[in-house]
Amino acid sequence: MNYRHSFHAGNNADVVKHSLLIALVRALQQKDSALTLIDTHAGCGLYNLFADEARRTGEAAQGVMRAIADTSPLLNDYRAAVMAVNDGDTPHIYPGSPRVLAQLVRPQDNLILNEKHPEDAYTLRSVMRGMPSAIHERDAYELWLAMIPPRTPRGVVVVDPPYEKTDERARITSTLAAASRKWAHGVTVIWYPLKDRAAHRRWKDQLRKIGIVKFLCVEHWLYDDEQPGIFNGSGLFIVNPPYAFTQELPPLLEALRAALAPEGHKGHMTADWLIM
């Protein structure tokens, strides 16, 4: 496993992913009943934006730094989550999904984190010390199925793989199909990169065959035209999103698009139902 998120922490994909994840959990927490939050690919938990790895790519400059400098109040929750792990006005530490989710957990909620990479799992345990969470070092897809349905009345599974393995999308598709049979009303969030539009359309066709009714597809395309072979943006598949989240989504997406659009491009963000 060669992918290390330390090279990409705080990029535009992180901004979109964590902004939407915060909004989703907040919407679910409008009800008092307990939630279990499950992160299948948790990573290290915290990332140094001034470390050699992050400096080498410089991706945070086009992501979190733009979001912090932006003035839209719709990004306030995201900015607060980032600055909660920082001192001063400029972030030097970026919170991965475990630390973002930990900020959202209420006394009645549970947080389950999983990271298979041994070094990252070791770091994650240190980063999460003193916080109410259970940490596993297992195959992500095996854990996904093992942990559902959760013991609490409701839950969210966050699936955020590196997509380095050629069968990653196939494993997601088969595991999601099995998960939907075990936990039909569960909320699932699946992050994915956008590179090849044709390949992405084929994956969507495979996902449609699962037959999930409430399957939202949120996509952030950075560039106004085709950019073959490069990172064009990212998206989230969200299974069974709550009504409160979908109602508040359009203005949040517009705020994110405006904050993150590369120079010379407007970019666009869409939110469509994969299956109606």
Active site residues: 160
What phi-psi label fits residue 201: left (phi over 0), alpha (psi between -120 and 50 degrees) or beta?
alpha
Distance, CA of 160 to CA of 167 (rounded, Å): 15
Distance, CA of 224 to CA of 76 (rounded, Å): 27
Give the CA distances from residue 260 to residues 169, 226, 254, 274, in Å, rounded to whole numbers and listed in that order: 26, 18, 10, 25
Which residue do the tokens 């992405």 mark?
A: 200
Distance, CA of 80 to CA of 40 (rounded, Å): 24
* SS3 category, 272: strand
Cα dihedral 41, 234, 189, 96 sign: positive
Q: Which tokens belong to 272?
A: 């469509």
* SS3 category, 247: helix
Distance, CA of 170 to CA of 203 (rounded, Å): 9
* Residue from 101, 120, 111, 127 nearest 36 by CA: 111
